[in-house]
Amino acid sequence: MTGWAHIDPPWDQRIARVLVKPLTRTPVTPNQVTTVSLICGVAGGVLLAFGGTAMGWGALLYVLAQFIDHMDGELARATGQTSVFGHYYDHIAGGVFEFMMFAGLGIGLQQAAFAPFGVAALGPWASAMGFVAALSVAVTVTIRMEIFRRFGRDAIDQPGWGGFEIEDIMYIVGPLAWFGGLEVFLLLAAIGTPVFMVMTVWEFMARSAGKKP
């Protein structure tokens, strides 16, 4: 029975699958698409660090990078160019631009004199929170890659609901940058990413010990 929790693949992946069809008739490779997402993500993180109006453009580039990150895999499957290197490169690229996003966000918000929704400006704490989130993401990505290497692709599949995956929450960076709320997002990320990191480490240790995580 098809229900809210059984929509697969996710919506962004479905859209990416349609958009890469013209690329299947060109010399463009999946790894080149990954490189484009990496460039967009890193540039987005740099712009976020500038603060002010630059943060809106940085968020746009980051959201674009997140979406393009789905296109490389779809192109690889459509053209038969899947590879272990491409999988690792995709994960590393995604980890790098997420690291840059959180680090840039922290630096950019440190310059803010006020925050929306009645939340006090984070001030110097912003950069510390950004670093905590960025470092947690780096550790999580590294452990997930090792889980993939040892236990296969199914071991790193993420749960989804209604055509959305957990990672899709990151698209909210765009609207929050344009309409306000990045301070709240960073505060929650500084708490949530370390928790997810610990859960990932625990899962890795449980699997390594032969236990069901």
The residue ranges of every structural domain in the chain are 4-208
**Whole-number Cα distances in Å, 188 to 73, 155, 182, 183:** 30, 26, 10, 9
Mean pLDDT confidence for 192-205 = 94
Q: What is the rounded average pLDDT of the residues 12-41?
A: 92
Q: Rounded mean pLDDT of the chain?
A: 85
pLDDT at 8: 64
Q: What is the CATH number of domain 4-208?
A: 1.20.120.1760
Given a contact cutoff of 8 angstroms between Cβ atoms, the answer to whether 11 and 161 are in contact is no
Lowest mean pLDDT, pick from 6-10, 118-122, 173-177: 118-122
Query: Does the pLDDT at position 193 exceed 90?
Result: yes
Distances in whole angstroms, Cα of residue 71 to Cα of each of 100, 153, 166, 186, 191: 20, 18, 18, 27, 30
Residues 107-118: pLDDT tens digits? 999 876 444 443
Q: Is the pLDDT of residue 29 over 70?
A: yes
Task: Return the closest-CA partner of residue 100 out of 64, 157, 62.
Answer: 62
Question: Which of helix, strand or coil describes residue 35?
Answer: helix
